[in-house]
Amino acid sequence: MSGNGLDYSALFNKDLPPPAGRWQGHPKYNFIGGHSDPDKVPTEGFIESADRVFHGDPRNISMYNFSGGPQGILPLREFVVDKLGRHRGIETTIDDVLITGGSGQAIELINEILLEPGDTAIVEAFSFSGALGNLRRRGVNVVGINLDGDGMRMDHLAEVLEGLRDKGVRPKYIYTIPTLQNPTGTVLTMERRHQLLALSEQYGVPIFEDECYADLIFEGEYENAIRSMDDTNRVLHIGSFSKTLGPGTRLGYVVAPWEVMSRLLSRKNDAGTGVMDQMIVGDYFNNHYDEHILDVRAALQRKCDVLGSALRESFGPSVEFDVPRGGMYLWVKLPDGVDSRALEGPALREGIAFNPGPDWSADPAAAAGYIRLCFALPSEAEIREGVEKLADVFRREGALP
């Protein structure tokens, strides 16, 4: 019961998720979530951009959806079109781009317009916890496709699609994070991208391509987006500014044809994504994207190396992981029989936070022996120290020899 005597418990919507816990602050050694590198936030650049945009037209702020309407301000949509053309091989126009409150809102909106309880959605067997949670909350049947070092396995996908068709089930979409997959860090080969499009066509199932991490590849040249090879509107493409600038920007985008866009817009009832954020990010990236992204990639690559060496040093050969071609995570396999969830509490008590595997899996039990470590936020010294302490906790708990 609350202080003023009114008891809300009988009033709450019966379908609410369990209540949130109170915020406990960040742990000292923070390897969870998808935070980005605080040293790479371009504060000086933001200040210059803010100065420029605040000397612009005040109607941008005083009106709902002034410059660009409900799809987002024009300079930011123009940046997305230019970036997708130059870096992801996608030819699109500002009419097909919707700026969202993070790509999390993009997932929410796409699910809103496509999914009903009892529907089936195909995902990678290990996948983004937020996307999996969203599907589960909606009562959607989630079917996982196995991954190997080259991303989603097309032989398994073909088998699953055929099996579902035999049962009269047409999945609503195939959700994939093809470029620097979360959590495994894999990159789907070009051959498989073509096969995926062919399967999508054969079974009449759209592809939901989430390229949240694609900008963070360490190399210069890499695989084009699946959307770039699609001239039949079967790929809905989303991306984010959270990993290139920081999740605090709360900006993302969807690329979709008008048939879908018009439905997304009628479902997006937030009266527009925050315009100040859009203006500053739009100005900054229209002027500095290429230099900024090279800097971010180099910093992440260094931290990835530091985490890999720290794990080898402190954990030895008892854990396995592949070094990714980019991104911000290592997906680490623990010795057989170890349950990562049992280690979460003891590690947290020492100030070390990691993500236990089950939340990142279509079949939670199948990922009990994995942890995901994000290396973007902690400093190199914190990575080394945190990993050494984590190995001590694991040893004490009997999880390591």
Which amino acid makes up residue 104? G
Determine which helix (DSSP H) or strand (DSSP E) holds 144, and give its type and residue range. Answer: strand 141-145
Judge whether 188 and 151 are in contact, CB under 8 Å.
Answer: yes
Nearest by Cα to 121 from 109, 108, 106, 131: 131
**Of 30 and 103, which CB lies nearer to ligand PLP in the complex structure?**
103
**C-beta of 130 vs 346, nearer to ligand PLP:** 130
Show the binding pattern over residues 239-268: x = contacts ligand PLP (CB under 6 A), - = does not.
Answer: -x-x----x----x----------------
Q: In what order do the strands lie in the sheet with 370-374?
A: 329-333, 370-374, 355-356
Q: Around Cβ 96, how many Cβ atoms within 10 Å? A: 22
What is the dihedral sign for C-alpha 297, 303, 309, 314?
Answer: negative
Q: Is 184 in the site for ligand PLP (CB under 6 A)?
A: no
Q: By C-beta, is 66 or 218 nearer to ligand PLP?
A: 218
Given 182, 184, 273, 314, the residue binding ligand PLP (CB under 6 A)? 182
Strands 141-145, 120-124: parallel, antiparallel or unpaired by DSSP?
Answer: parallel
Q: By C-beta, is 60 or 240 nearer to ligand PLP?
A: 240
Give the separation between CA 34 and CA 46, rounded to whole angstroms: 21
Among 29, 79, 128, 208, binds ligand PLP (CB under 6 A): 128
Instruction: Give least dist CB 106 to ligand PLP, A.
Output: 8
CA 360 to chain centre: 11
Is residue 326 a contact residue for ligand PLP (CB under 6 A)? no
**Closest to 82 measured CA to CA, from 94, 72, 70, 73:** 94
* Shortest distance in whole angstroms from residue 307 CB to ligand PLP: 18
| 382 Cβ contact partners less than 8 Å away, ≥ 6 residues apart | 28, 29
- Here's the x/- map for ligand PLP, 204-243, by CB under 6 A: it reads as ------x-x---------------------------x-x-
Peptide bond into 183 cis (omega under 30): yes
Question: Is 308 a residue that touches ligand PLP (CB under 6 A)?
Answer: no
Beta-sheet strands, E only, within 140-217: 141-145, 147-148, 151-152, 173-176, 207-210
Q: Does 301 bind ligand PLP (CB under 6 A)?
A: no
- Residue in 110, 122, 135, 177 binding ligand PLP, rule: CB under 6 A: 177
CB of 225 to ligand PLP, least distance (A): 14
The CB-of-250 to ligand PLP minimum distance in angstroms stands at 7
Measure CA of the first residue to CA of the last residue in the chain; give whole Å.
49
Q: Which stretch binds ligand PLP (CB under 6 A): 54-62, 97-105, 109-117, 378-386?
A: 97-105
Segment lying near ligand PLP (by CB under 6 A), choices 69-77, 96-104, 267-275, 291-299? 96-104
- Which C-beta is closer to ligand PLP: that of 252 or that of 386? 252
Q: 177 and 211 in contact (C-beta within 8 Å)?
A: yes
Question: What tokens does 58 get?
Answer: 């005040």
- Would you count residue 102 as binding ligand PLP (CB under 6 A)? yes
**Residue 34 binds ligand PLP (CB under 6 A):** yes
Applying CB under 6 A, the residues found at the interface with ligand PLP are 34, 102-104, 128, 130, 177, 182, 210, 212, 240, 242, 247, 252
